[in-house]
């Protein structure tokens, strides 16, 4: 007889299950909220700080999510090696990310096609959410160093939220 072992894990501490429930935070609700905010972006959406336009921001966020999914590994920065681990709490605390933070070279982008990057970012968000813990990279973050899947997922949400707020979404 063939035996199959299935490991299922879910840290729903901050959520009330998967499916959307009115008035309650759910995994599906957060996913839909993020996708809706991405859909509301326009190529002409003005930035409130920083240098990127909306298309570049979406390309940057998609590239960051690809890094978190293990599609590539960004090199550790010297500053990150020295002080990054002391700032890991920024990925999971309730404070917004600081504006105009430095960016790793691999995560900087040039000019981009708005519609293509909008679609790419939505796909990256869905794939990252569907992949769960097992799809988070084992590579260290270029600044913060080694992260747990919870730190990667919390950090990716905070990073995306930061940049969507940058454009008033």
CA–CA gap between residue 143 and residue 125 (Å, rounded): 22
Q: Walk along the chain (169 residues) and give the pLDDT tens digit of each residue.
A: 777 766 545 555 666 565 666 776 666 777 888 999 999 999 999 999 999 999 999 999 999 999 999 898 889 988 889 998 898 888 888 898 889 887 878 888 888 899 999 999 999 999 988 887 788 888 999 999 999 888 888 899 999 999 999 999 9
Which pTM does this prediction carry?
A: 0.83
CB 90 within 8 A of CB 152: no
Distance CA 136, CA 127 (A): 11
SS3 104: coil
């Amino acid at each position: 007889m063939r035996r199959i072992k299935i490991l299922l894990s879910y840290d729903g501490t901050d959520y009330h299950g998967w499916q959307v429930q009115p008035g309650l935070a759910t995994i599906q609700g957060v996913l839909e909220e993020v996708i809706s905010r991405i859909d509301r972006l326009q190529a002409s959406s003005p930035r409130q700080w920083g240098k990127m336009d909306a298309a570049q921001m979406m390309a940057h966020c998609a590239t960051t999510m690809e890094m978190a999914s293990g599609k590539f590994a960004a090199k550790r920065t010297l500053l990150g090696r020295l002080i990054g681990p002391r700032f890991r709490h920024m990925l999971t605390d309730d404070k917004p990310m600081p504006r105009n933070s430095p960016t790793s070279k691999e995560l900087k982008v040039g000019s981009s096609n708005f519609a293509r990057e909008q679609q790419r970012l939505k796909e990256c968000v869905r794939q990252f959410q569907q992949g769960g813990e097992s799809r988070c990279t084992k590579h260290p973050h270029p600044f913060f160093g080694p992260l747990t899947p919870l730190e990667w997922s919390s950090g990716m949400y905070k990073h995306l939220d930061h940049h969507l707020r940058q454009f008033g979404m």
